[in-house]
Amino acid sequence: MITLKMEIWYVLFPILLTDIVNPVLFEFMVFAAASNRPVLLSSSMLLGHTVAYFSAGIILALFMESITDFFANPRRIDFIIELILGVILLWVAFGARKDTGKRPEGETAEFSVIGAFGFGAVVNFIGIPFAVPYFAAIDQILKTDSSTVQSALLLLSYNLAYALPFTMVPVLSALMGERARPILMKINQGLDKVSGVLMPLLLGLVGLALLADAITYFVRGSSLF
């Protein structure tokens, strides 16, 4: 029987929150919701993003796991990766730009369903280095020493939890029709403003936590979490 290590979510949740605060995907989805097929296209965009994010996570996990297997002490390399990610997150937090990535241009979205799906996938690569929290989440999942299936399920759970807040775009579009557009625009504008302050703070806090955990391991031989 497959059992997930639920305590990992004490670590994954703040990383997830940091990941979600990036407003780029939401803004593209609001753009898609301005089309004549708002529910279908915004849903397709979210699905494309989720599939691509999960697939990229699997590839990254396999790459990081292969590095771990190369070394004699897999636990040590896990914490070396964690230390590096902590430094990168702090660097991103202190050097975070007010602009968190490319934005859609124009007032009306003109996508096909496949085009929206593709745009959702491409959004994964817009706004890097703000995808660094995802690396941190993958590293934490690998540190649990779970089976391949358990790790994949944890990563899938992370991706589904990430996608959940963004479902408000197609849901509101379905329930309210044209009336949803000004509401979504206001939410988008508020998220953009809040992320400019909140995102560097969250990136810094997660970075400090990873650094503290890695340094504690190297000094005392045991981690904080």
Q: How far apart are CA 197 and CA 167, in angstroms?
A: 24
pLDDT the model gives residue 159: 94
The string of pLDDT tens digits covering residues 129-186 is 567 788 888 888 887 777 788 888 999 999 999 999 999 999 999 988 888 888 888 8
- 5: phi then psi, degrees, rounded to nearest 5: -85, 90
Residues of the chain with pLDDT under 70: 1-6, 66-75, 92-111, 126-130, 195-196, 198-199, 222-225
Nearest Cα neighbor of 104 from 193, 196, 30, 22 is 30
